[in-house]
Amino acid sequence: MSGGNREFQLGGVNHLALVCSDMQQTVEFYSGVLGMPLIKTIELPRGMGQHFFFDCGNGDCLAFFWFPNAPEGVPGISAPAAKPGEGEIVSAVGSMNHVAFSVPPERFDEYYAKLRGKGVEVSPVLNHDDSPAGVTTELHDGVFVRSFYFTDPDGALLEFACWLREFGPADVAHQPRRAADRTAPASV
């Protein structure tokens, strides 16, 4: 994409760390179903749990903690309650809403079919555009990213997405909202 950081030389995301309920099930899903190599495992000191790292491409990693005393997630608070296009996607401030993996546009439809073939429940394909609805069923020149969503065994929302065009100055056209603009209560 365009732009560039004039403050820090960042090379992308080193890793994003999530929390799982069952590390074996997580390994089976991320390595077995999604094909991400498991590249590092750590047994945390004092019985605190485990920390495993998966290669998700381009030198980036997706990591998971397993804590024996972690509380259960709460859909609609710690994660979205549904996939985009299928229900409520709001999650709490400070939560991880979803992880989007970049896939090549020319393999997008193939990957959709492949995940379905592996028994993964996927959302309909969403073609994101600048229309009032933000998505369309039609693929047209205004679509900037195509995506579909699915969940891991713990309900973490995942996305396969492919950019279809470069961004320019016209793509940054909205004023950022403030905390005072929120309508939700500050705490739950």
* Percent of the residues in the chain that have a pLDDT greater than 70, as a whole number: 96
pLDDT at 35 over 90: yes
Same domain membership, residue 103 and residue 66: no
Residues 52 and 102 in one domain: no
Is residue 73's pLDDT more than 90?
no
> How many structural domains does the chain have?
2
Q: Is the separation of the CB atoms in 141 and 155 below 8 Å?
A: no
6 and 60 fall within a common domain: yes
Distance CA 81, CA 90 (A): 8
Q: Give the residue among 113, 142, 114 at the shortest CA–CA distance from 127.
A: 142
**Average pLDDT of span 7-18:** 80
What's the pTM value of the predicted model, to 2 decimals? 0.84
- pLDDT band of 188, cuts 50, 70, 90: very low
Q: Is residue 28 part of a domain?
A: yes
Residue 125: the pLDDT is: 95
Q: Looking at residues 34-54, what average pLDDT do you find?
A: 91
Residue 115 belongs to domain with CATH number:
3.10.180.10
Whether 63 and 125 map to the same domain: the answer is: no
Same domain, 63 and 111: no
Beta bridge partners of residue 127, listed in sequence order = 136, 146
- Res. 100 pLDDT band, cuts 50 70 90: very high
pLDDT at residue 148, as a whole number? 94
Q: Which domain holds residue 130?
A: 97-168
